[in-house]
Every structure is written in C-alpha cells, then in structure tokens.
C-alpha cells in the first residue's frame, strides 16, 4: 500500500475534519454536537497514524492512542454536562441556554 | 490504492451522513460506522494495535452514546424539533473555508522523504509507552480517573 | 540725575500709590489720607516730568530705553520701556500738572462722600496717572496701546464712581463700548503694521506698499476717533459727564481724550506718509469742530456744554494734524488741556455752589463768586481765541496750517466754528454770571483746596501762548515766535478775532432775548439725539440679527453634532450588545471563524 501518498491521507483527514466542523456549527441537539466533535477527533487521529506510517516508526501510533484515550475522557465529561443541562433547562437544545445574553 | 479509494469514499459519505441526518439514533449508528471504517484505515496503515483499540473503545463509547441519546431524546419533547435549517450556511461556509485552507497548506508544503516501516505490533507500542512516553502515560491514567470522578460528581442527583 | 531715574519716578510713584491703596485697606478707608498720598505721588511725578522737560529744552535729544517683553519675529518685536523727547516730556508735564490740580481739587469737591469711597476714587486716580504716563512715554505702539486700554479702564471706573446713579453706570458702559469699538480698529491697525514690518516701532521701514501704510494709518485714526470723541463716535462724551466734575476735567478734557491726538502725533511717520488718512483726518476734524460747537449751543447743562466744546476743540486738533502740521495739533492740545481743565474746575465750583448742573438755575453769580468768575472768563477767552491768551496762538496755528495746506473746505468750517465757539461761551458766561440769581441756594466761593488748583491752571491758560517759539523747537519744527505771530496780525488771525466778535455779539443778543434766525425744529431734532437713536437701531437690527444667527448655529449645528456623538455612542453600544446572544452556538461560531482567520493570516498573509 505504499503507493498511496501521504498527501492523500492528509486530505482525507482534512475532509473529515471539515465535515465535523460543519456539523458543530449546524446542529442544535447537544448530543449531535458531541458527535461532530467526535468526528473531528477521529480525523486528527487518522492524520497522526498516517504521519507515523510515513515516518517509519511508531511515534504516530502512540500519539493516536493518547488521542483516543483523551477523546473518551472528553465524551464522558460532555455527557455528564448534557445530563446537567437537561436537568436545569429541561431541554438539550443548545439554544435554550441563554443566561450569558447581554 | 484499490483499498484506499473506496475506503475514503465510504468514510466521507458516512461522516456527512452523521451530521446531516435528522434522526439522532441514525446519527449515532452512522458514527459507529465511521469509526469502524477508520479502524479499517488503520489496518491499511499497518497500525493493527491502534485499530483494535479503536474498535474496542469507540464501539463501546458509541454504544454509550446510543443509550444516552435514546434515553434523553425520548423523554424530552424539544428533542424532536431539531431542524437545523437556520444555520446551515454557517456549516457550509466554515467547512469549505477550512478545507480550502488545509488543502492549500497540504499541497503546497514539502514533505520529507518516506521511510520503511519498522516492526509494528502491540509489543513494540507497549514498549514505547513504558519507556519514552511513560510520563505522559501515567498522566493520562490520572486524567481518566479525574474525568470519571468529575462526571460522576456533575451528574449525580443532589437532594435539594 | 539721568533721564532713566526721572522716568522711573514718573512711572513708579503713581503705581506704588495705587498698589498701596489697592492692598492696604486701612489707608484706603481714610479717604483724606489716600488723597494726600496720591497727590504726593503725582507731585513727585510732576517734579520729575518738569526736570525732563527742562532738560529737553536745553538739550533736545531722543532718549530711549527698552527691554524685551516677548520674543518673536525680528529682534525688536515687542519691547517695553520709555522714550523721552520734546513731545513726550511736554505731554508728561501737562498730564501731571493737570492731574495734581484735579486731585487736590477733588479733596474738597468730594468731601461729602464716604471716606472709603474717596479712597477708591483716589486709587483709581493713581492708576490713571500711571497708565497715562506709560502711554505718553511709550517707545512703541505696543506700550502705547497697553496704556491706551488701561486709561480706558480708568475712565470706565471713574465715570461710574457714583454707582448709585443709574445713568452713571450706563454712561460708563457706553464710554467703554464705544471706545472699545474704535479700539478694535486700532488693534487691526496694529496687527497690519506688525504683519508688514515685524515690529511695533513707529519708524516706517522703506519698501512698504502704499496700500499697507494707508490701511494702518486709517485704522489707527479710527481708533483715535473713538478715544477723541470725533463724529460719529462722539456719543459717549456727553454722557460721560455723569462722573464727578474733577474726573471730567482730567480725563475727558485734558488727558485721556487727548490720547487720540497724541497717538497721531507720536506715530507721525505713519500718518505723514498717507494722503488718504490725512484727508480723512482734516475733514473729520473740521466737521466735528463745527457740528459739536453747534450742539454746544443747545445745551443747558454746563458740563455737557463743555463736553461738546471739548469734542469741537479736538476736532480742531485733528484738522490741524490732517493739514500736515504736527506742531499745530500738539500745541493746541497743550493749551486746550490747561484752559479746558480750568473751565471744568470752575464749572465744578459753580455746581458745588448751586447744587445743580443746569445753567438756567444759575445766574448773577459774578457778585457772589468773583474769583470763579474771573477764572471762568480767562478760560472762556482762551477757548474763544481772544488775542494774547494762549488759545489765540494755538488756534491761529491751526488755521494757518489749514490755509497753508490749501484745505479750504475745512478752513471754512473751522472759521465758522470759531464764531460758534464764541457764541456759546458768551451765552454761558452771560447766563451763569449776569442777570438775577435764579438758584435757590446761597452761592459762595469754595475753599482753598479748590481755589488754588484753579488758580494754578489759570496761569498757563494765560501764559503758555507766549512760549510758542520754544514749543515749536521742542517738536522740531521751524516756526515763528509769539511776538512774530502778533505782528502778523492781519490775515487769518484778524479774521479769527473778527468771527469771535461776531459770535460774541450773537451770544449777547440771544441773552437779551433776540431770537436768532434758525431753521425751525432743528434745535428740537438735534436735542432728540439722532446719533444715539441711530446707533441703537443699528445695534438692534444688525448686531442682534448676527447674534441670533450665531446662536442658531450654536444650537442646531454645534450642539446637534455633540448630541450626535452622544447618541452615536449609545446607539453603537446598544447595537454591539446584540453580539452577546447568550447562545453557545454563536460563541462557537465566533471562536471558530476567528481562529480560522488568524490561521489563514498566518499561513497566507504573514509568511
């Protein structure tokens, strides 16, 4: 598979990241926003592994593993916050939390 | 290359579907699909250990998301109203802008010459974890602990 | 002693007196003490001025000392100091002599006033002497202007001395405003001069365009017109008679109004070079001389009569200067100072006796006030120009100058003025001193403090004319001595005397009841003060309209702009507040796009 150039993998990762970014600004459901964040993190990990493969050693894979663990931790806390938000605002619509409005 | 192109197409299709679909359960399932396809990409990049971890953690994580998503959406009325037509231009604009920028950066930079991959298996990765990256590894475990405790504290029912 | 020391005495004695009275209230509160203090200072000034004057007579040279006050432009831009020459030494003597006489006189004239008020009065006298002397001894136009403004201030203060009388307050303001209006032209002239030559000195550098010279001369003359009460800016002088009579004698007869003439004498190089200004001067002076004299004929109030007479005589001086003779103008200035001050002081003695200004309430006073009568006759003779008296020589010099310069129109007016002058003075003398006594009070001569100054002024009124030769050498012009003038009696001098006798006859006839031919209603129209009504109408129409326009601009344009700024700030704030929607999605959007922009700049733009 070494005929696939690094740029291809990088472009692919960038594309998935863009899709996740688009979803981040578009969705109103808090859980859907979390899904978009998940997509972006995934794209980053893909990028890292591709770099590692290209370099020829395992540094990229190690970083990707770290990234996976971090993303899991982030999802845990995010879900806890969604539960809290649901409790206080009775809704998981992110537009319902407007306390910071000026 | 024969593996890469279908894989890439499938990945992109799945991720677009995740953000575009109106049904939350479909979105969660499609995310699971995306993550599994990514695991396949890892295999293509000869990162078997990472692929395995990806499948275990993420599929497990995805299941959690599914459960919670279903539970929360079905109990609350406003969850069903989630039509996002008002701000779709934001997503389009930002996605395109970012991709254009990234593509320009990627295509105009010089990448160093590639090298042949050394032995890539779980043993080698583990060795790296416990030698060069041991500090980060230990910190990561503390972080995970903190996240768990924090989540529990945030989400517990307070008798007020 | 050097000239510098004398000048220091002249300037510092009065200002120290003023300072003491201004600061040390116990001295000021005792009015008589304040009066003697100021009189002593003025006496010192007179002594020093006499020393300078006799020094100039024996050794005429120009002495000057200046110190730089401001820097800017050329090296001699703004200097202050003094200049002593024949002209300024002579004027300094006149000012200090008349001031001393007036101050001693005031001590009795104002004896009924409260001591604190008298202290205030004398302190302003001290300020006035200082201001007038610094004007007289000024080395350049800048210091003259400063002295000019200061004497205007003193005039305002002293006219308004009887502040409880409403007409005094109005009169002092009117004097101030009319002279201030004229002073704005003076200031413009000053600015043009400085812009063209780079200094305030009167010596004109070569190469100035005729237009500039004329502009400066005309502007300065308009300023002098205001101060010297020439038509049409004479309206303030009759009203200024609301002040105490000694003030009228000092300021509004002898010195302050003379400052206008003195300006022209001092700045003679500028005026000499401009035909336009000279023509303007001779006509304005001649018209004033005649018309003010006619107005004097209509007056019942003796002080107002003397005020119009002063206007008229100042017109003579201006006409003489306009005809090109600086000596004639300056000499008439000197003689007029003495006899007019004498006339005012004697008028004050009359007013003090009968407690009224109006001549119709006086009468037959020659029996009860003989000394006053005699002195008034001396003053009236000088004013009318009877032969041998000082006024004869100076008025004759004026007429000679006019004929020498072929100014026939002004000459006719001035000659007519001679007849009118004689007529009103005759009427005044006859009404006040002859006939039966009409006043209710028992008239009597005043005390020695009023009599001695009057006598002191009577002497020069009689005698100064004899020194006309010395005078002319003082101002550096060749001329002829007194005896020479008397021997040239035929010609203009004789015509002058003849006209005076005609005037005398007319006055006597009117006193005896003969009605003189005159256009009907002219007297009443003149009494209705047409010039004042014109000024008031012009003020209402022109100035107020402009003022309202400016107020409109201020409210609807300037204030509106300010309000717009305020409104803009508030509206801007209100609008920008809406960025803070409170929705997390909007904040994410902002952060995301901001980061993207920064990264894009870093990648593409910064390089």
Whether residues B141 and B70 share a domain: the answer is no
pLDDT over 70 at C513, yes or no: no
* Percentage with pLDDT > 70 across chain B: 87
Into how many domains does chain B fold? 2
C243 DSSP assignment = S
Q: Write the pLDDT tens digit of every residue in C390-403.
A: 777 788 888 888 87
- Can you give the pLDDT at residue B34? 92
Cβ contacts of B94 on chain C, cutoff 8 Å: 589, 592-593, 596
Q: Which residues, in sequence order, are bridge partners of residue C84? A: C63
A100 → closest Cβ in C578, C580, C585:
C580
Per-residue confidence (pLDDT) for residue B77, from 0 to 100: 44
Among chain B residues, CA nearest to A90: B76
What separation in angstroms does the CA of C306 have from each of A17, B40, C207, C328, C552? Answer: 106, 124, 45, 22, 46
Q: Tokens for A13, please give them.
A: 């990762």
- Concatenating the DSSP letter of every residue in B11-70 gives HHHHHHHHHH-S-HHHHHHHHHHHHHHHHHHHHHTT-HHHHHHIIIIIHHHHHHHHHHHH
Instruction: Judge contact between C344 and C248, C-beta under 8 A.
Output: yes
**pLDDT confidence of residue A102:** 64
Residues of C in contact with A98 (CB under 8 A): 581-583
Residue C395 Cα distances to C150, C314, C480, angstroms: 30, 11, 14
**Contact (CB, 8 A) for C99 and C18:** no
* B134–chain A nearest CA distance, Å: 11
Residue B135 lies in domain: 117-160
- pLDDT at residue C393, as a whole number: 78
Q: What is the CA radius of gyration of chain B?
A: 20
In a domain, B112, yes or no: no
Q: Nearest CB to A102: which of C577, C585, C592?
A: C577
What is the biggest distance separating any 2 CA atoms in chain C, rounded to whole angstroms? 116
Q: What per-residue confidence (pLDDT) applies to C594? A: 93
- Cβ atoms B139, A64 nearer than 8 A: no
Task: Say what the pLDDT of residue C140 is.
Answer: 86
Reading the block at residue A72, the tokens are: 């899991």
**A62-71, C138-147, C475-484, C501-510: the lowest-pLDDT one:** C475-484
Position A31 confidence tier, pLDDT thresholds 50, 70, 90: confident
Place of tokens 């002004």: C410
Tens of pLDDT, residues C449-479: 777 888 888 777 777 766 666 666 666 655 5
B123: Cβ contacts below 8 Å, ≥ 6 apart? none
Question: Taking 90 as the threshold, does the pLDDT of residue C583 lie above it?
Answer: no
- B97 interface with C at CB cutoff 8 Å: yes
Q: Tell me the per-residue pLDDT of B34-69, one tens digit each, with 9 for 90 and over.
A: 999 999 999 988 889 999 999 988 877 777 766 776
pLDDT digits (tens, 9 = 90+) for C119-171: 889 999 999 999 999 999 988 888 899 999 999 999 889 988 888 888 888 88
Residues 13-72 of B with CB under 8 A from A: 15-16, 18-19, 24, 27-28, 31, 34-35, 38, 41-42, 44-47, 49-50, 53-54, 57-58, 61, 64-65, 68-69, 72
Residue C407 has pLDDT above 80, yes or no: no
HEC-encoded secondary structure of C291-314: HHHHHHHCCCEHHHHHHHHHHHHH
Is B100 domain-assigned?
A: no
CA B126 – CA B157 distance, rounded (Å)? 40
Question: To the nearest whole angstrom, how far is the Cα of B151 from the nearest Cα of chain A?
Answer: 5
Chain B: closest CA distance from residue A88 (Å): 12
Q: What is the pLDDT of residue C516?
A: 58
Enumerate the residues of chain B whose CB falls inside 8 A of the CB of residue C604: 104
User: Which pLDDT belongs to residue B98?
Assistant: 93
Q: Tell me if B104 and C589 make a contact (CB, 8 A cut-off).
A: no
Q: Where are the beta strands (DSSP E) in C159-223?
A: none
Top residue of C587, C588, C591, C593 to mutate, by most chain B CBs within 10 Å, is: C593
Nearest Cα neighbor of C262 from C50, C450, C83, C489 is: C83
End-to-end CA distance of chain C: 86
Interatomic CA distance for residues C231 and C182, integer angstroms:
12
Cβ contact, residue pair C603, B94, below 8 Å: no
Residue A56 lies in a domain: yes
Give the pLDDT band of residue B78 (cuts 50, 70, 90).
very low
User: How many whole angstroms separate alpha carbon C309 and alpha carbon C296?
Assistant: 6
User: Using the 8-state DSSP alphabet, how is residue C66 labeled?
Assistant: E
Residue C374: is it exposed, middle or buried by C-beta count within 10 angstroms (0-12/13-18/19+)?
middle
Domain span holding position A36 = 30-90
Q: Do residues B63 and B6 share a domain?
A: yes
pLDDT of residue C145: 92
Q: Kindly state whether residue A6 falls inside one of the protein's structural domains.
A: no
Q: What share of chain C is helix, strand, coil (3-state, %, to 5)?
A: 75, 5, 20
B102 lies in a domain? no
Average pLDDT over residues C78-99: 86
DSSP state of B110: P
Q: For residue C63, list its beta bridge partners.
A: C84
Cα dihedral across residues A91, A94, A97, A98: positive or negative = negative
Question: Is residue C261 helix, strand or coil?
Answer: helix
Residue C300 is predicted with a pLDDT of 81
Note the residue count of chain A: 102
Exposure string of A44-76, with b = 16+ CB inside 10 Å and e = fewer, is bbbbbbbbbbbbebbebbbbbbbbbbbbbbbbb
Residues of B in contact with C599 (CB under 8 A): 101
Q: How many Cβ contacts (< 8 angstroms) between chains B and C?
A: 17
48-77 in chain A: CB under 8 A from chain C = none
pLDDT single digits (tens) A39-53: 999 999 999 999 988
Task: Determine if the pTM surpasses 0.90.
Answer: no
The yes-or-no verdict on residue C432 having pLDDT over 50 is: yes
C361 vs A70, more confident: A70
State yes or no: pLDDT of C62 exceeds 90.
Answer: no
Contact in structure between C216 and C223 (CB atoms under 8 Å): no
Let me know whether B51 and B122 are in one domain. no
- Does residue B139 fall inside a structural domain? yes
Instruction: Report if residue B96 sits inside a domain.
Output: no
Res C486 pLDDT > 60: no
In this structure, are residues C265 and C364 in contact, taking their beta carbons and an 8 Å threshold? no
Position B61 scores a pLDDT of 75
Vertex C559, ends C553 and C565: CA angle to 5°?
A: 135
Of the candidates B19, B45, B103, the beta carbon closest to that of A27 is on B19
How much is the pLDDT for C209? Answer: 80
Average pLDDT over residues C570-598: 87
Provide the number of structural domains found in chain A: 1
- Asked which of B28-42, C115-129, C198-212, C504-518 is least confident by mean pLDDT, the reply is C504-518
Among B57-71, B142-156, C301-315, C398-412, whose mean pLDDT is lowest?
Answer: B57-71
DSSP 8-state secondary structure symbol assigned to residue B82:
-
The answer, yes or no, to whether the previous bond of C232 is cis (omega within 30 of 0) is: yes
Which of A24, A100, A101 faces C588 most closely, judged by CB atoms? A24
Cis link prior to C51 (omega < 30° from 0)?
A: no
Reported in sequence order, the residue ranges of C188-284 that DSSP labels E, i.e. its strands, are none
The answer to whether residue A102 sits within a structural domain is: no
Q: What is the mean pLDDT of the segment spanning C430-458?
A: 76
Tell whether B106 lies on the interface with C, counting CB pairs under 8 A.
no
Q: Is the pLDDT of residue B148 over 60?
A: yes
**Domain end position, chosen among B24, B51, B78:** B78
Check if the beta carbon of residue C3 is closer than 8 Å to that of residue C137: no
User: Which ipTM score applies to this complex?
Assistant: 0.87
pLDDT of residue C160: 86
- What pLDDT was estimated at residue C503? 77
**Eight-class DSSP state of B97:** H
Contact C596/B105, CB-based, under 8 Å? no
How many other CB atoms are found less than 10 A from the CB of residue C508?
16
Q: What percentage of residues in chain C have a pLDDT greater than 90?
A: 13
pLDDT above 50 for B20: yes
Query: Which of these, C184, C319, C326, lies nearest to C263 by C-alpha position?
Result: C326
* Confidence band of C253 (pLDDT split at 50, 70, 90): confident
Nearest to C189 by CA among C164, C221, C157: C221
Average of pLDDT values for C114-119?
Answer: 85
Residues 18-37 of A with CB under 8 A from C: 21, 24-25, 28
Q: What pLDDT, on the 0 to 100 scale, is given for residue A11?
A: 94
CA torsion, points C453, C454, C458, C461, in degrees to nearest 10? 90
Query: How close does chain C come to B68, measured CA to CA in Å?
Result: 22
Most confident listed range (A77-91, C120-134, C237-251, C454-468) = C120-134
Per domain, the residue ranges of chain C are: 534-606
Cβ–Cβ pairs < 8 A, chains A and B:
238
C589: which chain B residues are within 8 Å (Cβ-Cβ)?
87, 90, 94
Q: How confident is the model at residue C568 (pLDDT cuts 50, 70, 90)?
A: very high
pLDDT at B160: 56
Q: Sorting pLDDT into bands at 50, 70 and 90, what band is A1?
A: very low
CA distance B18 to C599: 27
The percent of residues above 70 in pLDDT, for chain C, comes to 89
Q: How far apart are CA C310 and CA C332, in angstroms?
A: 12
Q: Is residue B80 pLDDT above 60, yes or no?
A: no
- Residue C584, classified by CB atoms within 10 Å of its CB into exposed (0-12), middle (13-18) or buried (19+), is middle
Phi/psi zone of residue C73: left (φ > 0), alpha (ψ -120 to 50 degrees), beta?
Answer: left
Rounded Cα distance between C291 and C420, Å, is 9
**Mean pLDDT comparison of B117-131, C34-48, C449-463, C574-588, highest-scoring range:** C34-48
* Residues near A94 by beta carbon (within 8 Å), at least 6 away in sequence: A28, A29, A30, A33, C583, C584, C585
Q: Is the pLDDT of residue C489 over 70?
A: no
Residue A95 DSSP code: G
Instruction: Name the range with the highest mean pLDDT among B7-11, C21-25, C193-197.
Output: B7-11
């Amino acid at each position: 598979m070494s005929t696939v150039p690094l740029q291809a993998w990088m472009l692919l990762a960038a594309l998935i990241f863009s899709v996740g970014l688009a979803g981040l600004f578009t969705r109103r459901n808090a859980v859907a926003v979390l899904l978009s964040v998940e997509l972006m993190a995934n794209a980053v990990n893909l990028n890292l592994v591709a770099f590692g493969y290209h370099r020829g050693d395992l540094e990229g894979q190690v970083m990707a593993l770290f990234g996976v663990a971090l993303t899991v931790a982030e999802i845990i806390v995010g879900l806890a916050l969604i539960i809290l938000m649901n409790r206080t605002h009775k809704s998981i619509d992110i537009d319902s939390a407007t306390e910071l409005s000026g | 290359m024969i593996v890469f192109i279908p894989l890439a197409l499938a990945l992109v299709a799945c991720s677009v579907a995740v953000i575009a679909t109106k049904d939350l359960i479909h979105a969660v399932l499609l995310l699971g699909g995306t993550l599994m396809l990514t695991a396949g990409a890892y295999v293509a990049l000869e990162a078997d250990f990472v692929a395995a971890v990806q499948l275990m953690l993420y599929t497990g994580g995805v299941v959690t998301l599914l459960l919670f998503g279903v539970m929360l959406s079905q109990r609350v009325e406003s969850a069903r109203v989630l039509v996002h037509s008002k701000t779709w231009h934001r997503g389009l604009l930002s996605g395109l802008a970012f991709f254009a920028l990234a593509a320009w950066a990627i295509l105009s930079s010089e990448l160093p010459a590639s090298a042949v991959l050394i032995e890539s298996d779980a043993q080698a990765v583990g060795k790296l974890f416990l030698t060069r990256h041991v500090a980060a590894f230990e910190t990561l475990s503390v972080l995970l602990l903190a996240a768990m405790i924090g989540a529990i504290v945030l989400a517990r029912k307070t008798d007020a | 002693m050097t000239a510098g020391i004398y000048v220091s005495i002249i300037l510092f004695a009065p200002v120290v007196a003023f300072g003491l009275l201004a600061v040390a209230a116990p001295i000021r509160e005792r009015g008589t003490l304040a009066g003697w203090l100021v009189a002593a200072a003025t006496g010192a000034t007179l002594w020093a001025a006499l020393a300078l004057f006799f020094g100039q007579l024996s050794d005429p040279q120009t002495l000057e000392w200046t110190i730089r006050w401001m820097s800017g432009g050329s090296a001699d831009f703004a200097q202050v100091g003094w200049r002593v020459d024949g002209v300024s030494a002579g004027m300094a003597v006149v000012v200090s002599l008349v001031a001393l006489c007036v101050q001693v006189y005031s001590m009795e004239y104002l004896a009924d006033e409260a001591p604190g008020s008298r202290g205030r009065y004398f302190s302003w006298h001290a300020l006035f002497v200082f201001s007038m002397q610094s004007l007289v001894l000024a080395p350049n136009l800048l210091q003259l202007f400063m002295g000019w403004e200061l004497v205007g201030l003193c005039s305002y203060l002293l006219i308004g001395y009887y502040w409880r009388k409403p007409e005094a307050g109005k009169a002092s303001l009117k004097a101030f405003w009319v002279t201030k209006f004229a002073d704005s032209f003076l200031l413009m002239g000053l600015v043009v001069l400085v812009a063209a030559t780079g200094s305030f000195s009167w010596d004109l550098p070569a190469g100035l365009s005729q237009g500039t010279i004329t502009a400066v001369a005309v502007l300065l003359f308009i300023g002098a017109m205001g101060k010297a009460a020439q038509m049409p800016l004479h309206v303030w002088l009759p009203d200024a008679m609301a002040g105490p009579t000694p003030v009228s004698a000092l300021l509004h007869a002898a010195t302050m109004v003379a400052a206008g003439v003195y300006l022209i004498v001092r700045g003679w190089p500028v005026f000499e070079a401009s035909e336009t200004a000279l023509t303007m001067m001779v006509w304005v002076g001649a018209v004033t001389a005649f018309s003010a004299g006619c107005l004097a004929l209509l007056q019942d109030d003796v002080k107002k009569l003397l005020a119009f007479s002063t206007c008229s005589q100042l017109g003579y001086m201006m006409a003489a200067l306009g005809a090109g003779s600086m000596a004639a103008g300056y000499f008439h200035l000197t003689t007029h100072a003495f006899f007019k001050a004498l006339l005012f002081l004697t008028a004050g003695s009359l007013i003090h006796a009968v407690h009224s200004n109006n001549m119709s309430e006086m009468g037959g006073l020659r029996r009860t006030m003989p000394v006053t009568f005699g002195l008034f006759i001396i003053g009236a003779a000088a004013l009318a120009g009877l032969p041998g008296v000082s006024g004869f020589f100076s008025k004759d010099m004026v007429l000679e100058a006019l004929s020498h310069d072929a100014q026939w129109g002004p000459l006719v007016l001035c000659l007519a003025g001679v007849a009118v002058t004689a007529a009103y003075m005759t009427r005044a003398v006859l009404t006040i001193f002859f006939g039966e006594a009409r006043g209710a009070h028992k008239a009597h001569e005043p005390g020695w403090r009023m009599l001695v100054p009057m006598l002191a002024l009577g002497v020069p009124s009689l005698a100064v004319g004899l020194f006309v030769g010395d005078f002319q050498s003082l101002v550096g012009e060749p001329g002829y001595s007194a005896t020479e003038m008397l021997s040239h009696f035929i010609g203009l001098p004789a015509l002058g005397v003849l006209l005076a006798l005609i005037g005398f006859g007319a006055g006597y006839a009117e006193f005896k009841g003969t009605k003189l031919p005159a256009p009907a209603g002219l007297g009443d129209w003149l009494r209705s003060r047409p010039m004042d009504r014109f000024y008031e109408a012009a003020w209402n129409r022109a100035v107020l309209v402009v003022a309202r326009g400016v107020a409109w601009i201020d409210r609807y344009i300037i204030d509106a702009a300010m309000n717009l700024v305020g409104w803009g700030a508030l509206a801007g704030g209100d609008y920008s507040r809406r960025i803070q929607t409170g929705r997390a999605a909007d904040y994410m959007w902002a952060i995301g796009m901001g980061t993207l922009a920064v990264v894009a700049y870093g990648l593409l733009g910064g390089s």
